[in-house]
Amino acid sequence: MSEIIPPTPVSKINKDEGPANRRISLTDPAPQPSVDLTDEAISSVLKSDYSLDALSKRLKQSTETCEEFARYLSRKANSKSDNYTHLKKLSRSTNETMKKNTSNKLIKDDSFVKQFSAILSIEEKLLGFGNSYVQSVIRISDDLNYLKESIKERRKSIKDEARKREQECLEAIQLAEKAKIKYNSLCKNLEKVRTTSPNRTKFTIKGAKTTLQQEEELSSKISTAETDYRSKSEASQSIKKKLVEVYRPNYSAQLRDLILEIDISLSLKLQEYTNFEESLLMHLAVTISPASIDSKKPSIKNIASSVNVEKDLYDYLMGFHRKTPKKEYIPIQYKLHPSFQNSQANYNANFNLSINSGLSFSTTGGNNFGTASNEGLTSTSTITPDFTQSVVSTSYIPTRTNRGFSSLGLSVAPLPGIIIPPVKLKTFGNDIDTLIRFQGEENFVPYIVKYCISLIDLYGLDTEGIYRTSGNQLKLQELKESIDSNPNNIIQIIPSNNSASDGEIYLIASLLKAYFISLPEPLLSNELYPEFIAAARLPAESRVKKLHQTVYALPDGPYWTLRSLLFHFRRVSQRQDINRMSASNLGIIWGPTLLSFAITNPDEKSYQSKVIEYLMLAADEIFEAE
């Protein structure tokens, strides 16, 4: 027989065992009428010949009822458990799918999605109550099964002992009955012989017997039978008296107590079950529709009614209010070819570098790490036309589908001096969106990134080990502090001559890496990190599409900055025969910087480098080509 788990004591019912076990009741049970089981009529029944059969049958009915109740609770609990599990999986998967599709811009991100997500979270909480309820019902079922088996064993023991005593009484009565029948039969035979003629002779096997002889023989047998009859009758009466006065009251009381025990337990378990039912429903009701006093917990109805369709559409359309027109819809302006214009002033006499937000400056010849003036920083320099033309050639005018951003590149302008907002903002350590808002609305790539890329494109594409070899750390720290103190000091990284040494290129490359390392969050964001790693694990035929979707989910600043970096990396890797920097090498160096430094798993680190490598290879498909 399998092991039986002991039942939970009644004293421990309704303790804090989860939401379903905390009783919340609005009604109290009605008082039950009391009866006296010591009544004289009841006592006579318990002593009667029907007591054993009646009590044994009633106890069996109670155990069968207990078994049926336990079976119902077990089946109900299993059914609800399967249902809750399925609903919880459905709710969770729906919530995760909606969050993923929202980040991928496949579904709308408005008040409806937010309120629906809140309702799903409430439903998961409700399912948690349901799981607690299921565990409580299973425990009741186990308690009832243990009680049933225990009562059955004790019933059998009492019944066997009672049957033994009842059988002894029956056997004694049956023996007395047989003695009686024998005695009566001999008496009848004697009367019959006495009415027969005295001279009549009866022939038997033993010979002929006269009537007198027959009478004497029967009288002797009757005497013996009478003695046997009397003794057995007295014995049966004695056994019956002991049965009625001693044994029956004993086992009847035991069976009665067992009946009361199982019936009271069934009643208590039924009350406990209904308490759990009521508690579950009350918790569901309070969660679905909290009391109006508790304003911090809105009802599901209030959550659903807070969807504002018109405001959602208004907010969505306002997102396009400040978009610049799409490049393909800008009319072509007539412009005279430069060969027909008057020659411009000598490029070596004056150089002006302008950012499309209005930032422009001139430099003074000398050490490229000299200190810039804080009063306008306007001076003269000897910068060759090659650098000017190269900066212009690296100007990018990308168009992000449905977003219509303007040029992100550098351009030559005749504006004197530097025009930078007077507010001080550190370049290193601030997120990209904050920095580009400080630079100006139309500048979606930080100035420091633009300048470093432009200078490396112009002077450093043939430098061996670019990005692998670190620059002078002391100069790098001084340069970072100078730029943080005044953004205008970015001009210090511009070489003073028509060329730059390897040391200067390594310093510019280290400055670019230092900027991305200083970001509060990696460029490709912690939120989208799993998506990029998952894309790198995909086969080639589906990888580009996944990368495209994930990149498009980036905010504006990181999106355009990543575009500038990737096309720059492409130009570096195209000179790998000279600079020894292939796409794979660049991915190894830049993967932790642009994704995450916190990963220590070697396998995942390899996928970080593959993400950058795959993005470089698919840049023309993900972004508009330069």
pLDDT class of 612 with cuts at 50, 70, 90: very high
Does this model's pTM top 0.75?
A: no
Instruction: In whole angstroms, give the CA distance from residue 252 to residue 244.
Output: 10
Q: Check whether residue 543 and residue 566 sit in a common domain.
A: yes
Q: Does residue 2 lie within any of the structural domains?
A: no
Q: Check whether residue 360 and residue 456 sit in a common domain.
A: yes
Q: Check whether residue 489 and residue 381 sit in a common domain.
A: yes
Query: Which CATH number goes with the domain that contains 424?
Result: 1.10.555
Residue ranges of the alpha helices (H) in 209-343? Answer: 211-242, 248-288, 300-305, 309-318
Query: Which CATH number goes with the domain that contains 544?
Result: 1.10.555.10
Contact 598, 529 (CB under 8 A): no
Residue ranges of the alpha helices (H) in 49-110? Answer: 51-103
pLDDT class of 494 with cuts at 50, 70, 90: confident
Domain end marker among 305, 339, 370:
305
| Average per-residue pLDDT for the chain | 76
Instruction: In whole angstroms, give the CA distance from residue 140 to residue 70.
Output: 8
Residue 177 is predicted with a pLDDT of 92
Beta strands in 133-236 (DSSP E): 201-204, 207-210
Instruction: In whole angstroms, give the CA distance from residue 251 to residue 160.
Output: 10
Q: Check whether residue 139 and residue 242 sit in a common domain.
A: yes
Per-residue model confidence as pLDDT tens digits over 275-301: 988 888 887 777 777 765 555 677 777
40 has a pLDDT exceeding 80: no
Q: Check whether residue 456 and residue 542 sit in a common domain.
A: no
Per-residue model confidence as pLDDT tens digits over 192-228: 877 776 666 665 655 567 777 778 888 888 889 889 9
Residue 266 is predicted with a pLDDT of 92
Number of structural domains the chain divides into: 3
Q: Check whether residue 545 and residue 435 sit in a common domain.
A: no
Q: Does residue 497 lie within any of the structural domains?
A: yes
Per-residue model confidence as pLDDT tens digits over 439-481: 775 678 999 999 999 999 999 999 999 999 999 999 999 999 9
Instruction: In whole angstroms, give the CA distance from residue 341 to residue 333.
Output: 17
Contact 362, 416 (CB under 8 A): yes
Q: Check whether residue 22 and residue 112 sit in a common domain.
A: yes
Residue 161 is predicted with a pLDDT of 86
Q: Does residue 310 lie within any of the structural domains?
A: no
Domain end marker among 511, 538, 568:
511
Q: Check whether residue 456 and residue 554 sit in a common domain.
A: no
Q: Check whether residue 495 and residue 552 sit in a common domain.
A: no
Q: Check whether residue 609 and residue 479 sit in a common domain.
A: no
Q: Does residue 200 lie within any of the structural domains?
A: yes
Residue 41 is predicted with a pLDDT of 74
- Structural domain range at position 235: 10-27+53-305
Helix axis angle for 602-617 and 583-594, nearest 10°, is: 120
Q: Check whether residue 249 and residue 217 sit in a common domain.
A: yes
Query: For residues 599, 600, 606 and 612, what is the CA-based torsion angle, rounded to 10 degrees?
Result: 30
Instruction: In whole angstroms, give the CA distance from residue 578 to residue 573.
Output: 10
Q: Check whether residue 148 and residue 198 sit in a common domain.
A: yes
Domain end marker among 476, 491, 511:
511
Q: How many CB atoms lie within 10 A of CB 114?
A: 16
Query: Which CATH number goes with the domain that contains 264?
Result: 1.20.1270.60
Cα 84 → chain centroid = 13
